[in-house]
Amino acid sequence: MRLAIEEPIMFSVLQALIDVGLWDAWTAVGGEKHVEDLAAIAKKGVDPELLRHQLRLMAANHIVQETGEDRYAPTAFSLALGDKGTHVAPALRIRTDHIAQCAMHWPAFLAKTDYRKPVDDSDSCYVDSFPERKTFFERCSANPVHQESFSSFMDLWAKQKRPWPEFYDTTALLEGADLSDGSPFVVDIGGHHGIDLLRVLHKHQDLPAGSLVLEDLPDVVASVTLATDTIKTVGHDLFAPNAVQPVRGSRAYYMHAVLHDWSDETSVKILKQVAAVMKPGYSKVLINDIVIPTTGTSCYQATLDCLVLQASANERTEAVWNKVLSEAGLKLVKIWPDGRGYESVIEAELA
C-alpha cells in the first residue's frame, strides 16, 4: 500500500501545493489558518473544496498539523517549503523533473533492450524517457527549471553528508604541498557551488589566495558567489571537443559524486584529462564516491547504484574502481571510508 499508492499520491499532492504557491504564501503570513483562508492566500486560485481534500493528506503525513475541523497550523517542514532560502521546494522537484518519469519507464526500457546492463550514456533509460532525448546534463543545460531542481537537491544533499576533511587526511596532503609559486592545493572538478572547498577552508583557514579552485561548467560557476579570495572559479566543459584540463600541477584533483554519473568508458576519459596535467610523485586524484562492498551493501548505496544505472552509469566496487583507474593511467593508493556506510574518498596517483 505504501509503495504502490500512498507515497506517489502524497508527493503529487505536495508538488501541486508547491505549484499553487500555498507554502510561499503561508510562510509569509504564518500562523494557524482555516482551509478557506489558505485557499484565499494561495498565489494561484485554488478551489477550497479541492484544498480541503489535499490538506487532509498533508496532515496525515505530518507535513502540516491539524488543529481542528478544517484548521491547520504550519510545521517546521512546511515553513521550509515556503522559505526560498532553504531550497527545499525546488529540491523536491527533482522527482518531478527527473526521477519519477525515468523510474516508471525503467521496466519498459529493460524489456526494449533485452534486459542488458545499459552502458551507453547517449542511449540510456533517462534519454529514452523524455521526448528531447537528451542526457541528464544536456536537459539541465537546456532548461533552467531542470537545472534549478538538480542544483537545489545537490546543495541540500551535500549538507547531509559528512565533510570529507573529517575522514580524509587533508593535513598530510597540505604538509606535502608546495604552494609557494601560486600552484593550487585542491581543484574541485564539477564542484558546483563549492561546499566541499569551503569545508577545506574551514579546516585550513590560512591557505593562500587562489589555492582552491572551483571548476564546473561556465554557466554554473558564473552563478556562484563566494565571500573569499582563497577560492577562485574556472569554467570548464569536460566534454567539449578536444577538452584539456585547464589547471596544471595541483596537489590534488578532487571529484565528488561526479564519476558515478558516467559509464566506465566515459569516466576513464575524464580521468585521463586529469592524469595528463598531474605532476608525477606529487599530484593526487581524490574521488569522493560510493565504493560498493562485496557484501552488505547499504540501502543508500544500492538505491544510488540503481538510480544512476538508469543513466547508463553505476556505482563501483573496489575492483571496478581499480580497473577504471588503471585504464586511465592511475593507481589506487588508499580508500578512506566516511564511517557512515555512504561514501569514501578514493586516493589515487599516477601509475
The predicted model gives 126-147 an average pLDDT of: 94
Q: How many residues does the chain have?
A: 351
Amino acid at 58: M
What are phi and psi for residue 84, nearest 5 degrees? Answer: -65, -25
One domain, residues 39 and 77: yes
At 330 the pLDDT is 98
Q: pLDDT band for position 123 (50/70/90)? A: very high
DSSP 118: P
- Is there a single domain that holds both residue 66 and residue 102? no
CATH number at residue 289: 3.40.50.150
Q: Per-residue pLDDT for 174 more than 90?
A: yes
Considering 26, 57, 86, which residue would you say is the last residue of a domain? Answer: 86
Three-state DSSP state, 322: helix
Look at the block and give the residue holding cell 585547464: 246
pLDDT band, very low/low/confident/very high, at 157 (cuts 50, 70, 90): confident
pLDDT one-digit tens code per residue, 201-213: 999 999 999 999 9
Per-residue pLDDT at 107: 98
Q: How many domains does the chain have?
A: 3
CATH number at residue 30: 1.10.10.10
pTM of this prediction?
0.88
Statement to judge: residues 272 and 194 lie in one domain = yes
Are 350 and 283 in contact, with CB atoms under 8 Å apart?
yes
* Mean pLDDT value of segment 309-316: 95
Please choose, from the candidates 122, 111, 93, the residue with its C-alpha nearest in 3D space to the C-alpha of residue 311: 122
Does residue 314 sit in the same domain as residue 178?
yes
Domain residues for 80? 2-86
Choose the final residue of a domain: 114, 138, 159. 159
Q: Concatenate the DSSP letters of all residues of 224-293 into one string.
A: ---S-SSEEEEE--TTSTT---S--S-SEEEEES-GGGS-HHHHHHHHHHHHTTPPTTT-EEEEEE-EE-
Query: What's the DSSP call for residue 85?
Result: G
Q: In the listed set 134, 159, 184, which residue is the last one of a domain according to the structure?
A: 159
Q: 9 with 31, same domain?
A: yes
Per DSSP, what are the bridge partners of residue 33?
72
| Residues noted as catalytic | 260
What pLDDT does residue 181 have?
Answer: 85
Predicted confidence at residue 159, as pLDDT, reads: 85
What is the C-alpha separation between 283 and 286, in angstroms, rounded?
Answer: 10
CA gap 233, 184 in Å, rounded? 12
Is pLDDT of 20 > 80?
A: yes
Residue 3 has pLDDT above 80, yes or no: no
Do 255 and 168 fall within a single domain? yes
Per-residue confidence at 224, pLDDT binned at 50, 70, 90? confident
- 132 and 211 belong to one structural domain: no
Mean pLDDT over each residue of the chain, to the nearest integer: 95
- Domain shared by 326 and 188, yes or no: yes
- Find the mean pLDDT for residues 268-292: 97
Average pLDDT value for residue range 245-265: 96
For residue 198, is pLDDT > 80?
yes
Q: What percent of the chain has pLDDT over 90?
A: 87
Predicted confidence at residue 90, as pLDDT, reads: 92
Does residue 210 sit in the same domain as residue 328? yes
pLDDT, residue 341, reads 87
Q: Which amino acid is at 315?
A: E
**Cell numbers of 33, please?**
489558518
Q: Are residues 318 and 204 in the same domain?
A: yes
Single-letter amino acid code for the residue at 155: D
pLDDT digits (tens, 9 = 90+) for 41-96: 999 989 999 999 999 999 999 999 999 999 999 999 999 999 999 999 999 999 99
Helix or strand (DSSP H, E) at 348? strand 344-350
pLDDT given at position 260 = 95
Look at residue 45 in the predicted model and tell me its pLDDT. Answer: 86
Together in a domain, 45 and 131 = no
pLDDT recorded at residue 255: 98
- Evaluate if residue 273 carries a pLDDT over 80: yes
d(CA 156, CA 32): 28
Verify that 143 and 167 share a domain, yes or no: no
